[in-house]
Amino acid sequence: MESIKTIGILTGGSDSPATNAVIRAAFVKAKIYKYKVLGIKNGWDGLVNGNVIELKRDLVSGILSSGGTILGSARINPFKIENGVEMVKDNIRKFSIDSIVCVGGDETNIIMHRLCQYNIKGVGIPQTIDNDINLNDYSIGFDSAVEIATDAIDKLHTTASSHHRIMILEVMGREAGWIALYAGIAGGADLILIPEVPFDYDYVVNVIEKRRERGKDYSIIVVAEGAKPEEKNAHIEVKPGLNSIHQTQLGGIGNVIAREIEKRTGYETRVTVLGHLQRGGRPTAFDRILATRIGIKAVDLIHEGKFDYMVCNEGNLIKAEPMEKVLSDYKPMDLDLYEISRIFH
C-alpha cells in the first residue's frame, strides 16, 4: 500500500458532459481515504504554471448534472514546452502531490503515461465524446453527445420532410465514426458515413434515388467529420498511436457532400454542423453513472498503489488496463454495427 496523502485531479483536452461528475466522485472517494484533494486548473497547464487549488466539499457540491469542467481545460503538452517536464515535476513537489487523476481523451492521457516514466504517479480516465479509447466500451461524455445528435436528427426529419430536402448532419468524432453511427441508428438516418469506411458518391446518390422511388422525397444523411470519399487507390490513413498529439481541426465534409449531391441530382440539400453543441450541457443519466463508477475506481487504484493504469469499462465491468496497452492504438470500429445500419440505407 502506497502512503498517499494528497491527490490532484486534472481535466485536459476537449471537455464533455459528465466531466464534473467524475471530479465529484473522485473527490468524495478520496475524502473517504482522508486524502487532501487538489484541483489542477486547465489540464496540464496547471502543473506547468502552478495553477492549483484545494478542492473542498462546497466546490464539488451540485456539479453532478452540470456540463463543462469546474477545473477548466486546455490542450497544453508539457513535452512540447521548453523545460515543461521539469516545471511539472517542480509543481508536483511544491504542492506535495502524491498522485494524479487524469481525466481526458488520448492526448491528455498519453501525457500522463509518459510522465509515469519520470516517476510521476497517476491513473487515467477515458473522457471524450469521440469514444475512440481502446479497450473501453464507453468513454465518459459519449452517451450525452449521442443523445444530442439523435435529438438533432429527430428535428431534422420534420423539416426535411416539409421541404422535401436532403438534410446532412455533420457530427464530431475526429477519425472515429462512433457518434455518427450510434446517433444515426438511434435517429433513423437514411445514410451514415463514417471515417472507417470510405464512401462512394454513386452509392450516396443511389440511396437517395431509391428512397424517391419508394415515395420518400427527403433523406437524412449523418456524416462524421472525419469521413472521406473513396477514390481509386485511395490512401487509407494509418491512425497515429502512442506519443502523437493530434492538433488538426476537422470539419467541412458535410458541405463538400452537399455540393456533390446537388450537382449530381439537382435536389436541394442543406447542411447542419452540430459542432460544440455535442460537448455542452447536461450529461445523460448513463454518463453520470459511468463517470461516478470510474471516478471512484480511479481513486481506489491510487489507494492500492496501482499507477500508469486507465480505468476502462467492458460490459458492466469497471476494470484497470495498463495505459501502455490502452494508448498504443485506437478502438477499432464495430463494423457489425455498421452493417446493421446499412440495412436501412
Q: Which residues bind ligand F6P (CB under 6 A)?
A: 14, 105, 128-130, 172-174, 225, 249-250, 279
CB of 72 to ligand F6P, least distance (A): 13
**In the bound complex, what is the minimum distance in angstroms from residue 15's beta carbon to ligand F6P?**
8
Select the residue whose beta carbon is closest to ligand F6P and give its number. Answer: 172
- CA pair distance 130, 342, nearest whole angstrom: 21
* CB 171, min distance to ligand F6P, A: 8
Closest CA to 184 of 152, 210, 227: 152
Nearer to ligand F6P, 131 or 219 (CB): 131
The residue among 91 and 150 lying less far from ligand F6P, judged by its C-beta, is 150
The answer to whether the beta carbons of residues 67 and 280 sit under 8 Å apart is: yes
Q: Please, which residue, 172 or 312, has the CB nearer to ligand F6P? A: 172
Of the pair 225, 321, the CB lying nearest ligand F6P is at: 225
Q: For residue 37, with 0-12 CB atoms within 10 Å meaning exposed, 13-18 middle and 19 or more buried, which class applies? A: buried
Which residue(s) pair with 125 in the sheet? 103
Identity of the residue, 247 or 316, whose beta carbon is nearer to ligand F6P in the bound complex: 247
Min dist CB 49 to ligand F6P, Å, is: 20
Q: Least distance to ligand F6P from the beta carbon of 172, Å?
A: 3
CA gap 191, 167 in Å, rounded: 11
Q: Can you tell me which residue has the cell 465534409?
A: 253
CA distances from 185 to 109, 303, 344 (A): 30, 41, 9
Please, which residues have CB within 8 angstroms of residue 216's CB and are 6 or more apart in sequence? 190
Bridge partner residues of 220 (DSSP) = 167
Active-site position among 45, 106, 130, 143: 130
Q: Would residue 58 show up in a list of annotated catalytic residues for this protein?
A: no
CB of 274 to ligand F6P, least distance (A): 10
Nearer to ligand F6P, 174 or 331 (CB): 174
Q: Do 87 and 81 touch, CB atoms closer than 8 A?
A: yes
Instruction: Print burial letters for 63-87: b (CB count within 10 Å at least 16), e (below 16).
Output: bbebbbbbbbbbbbbbeebeebbeb
- All three cell numbers of 339: 452493417
Active site residues: 130
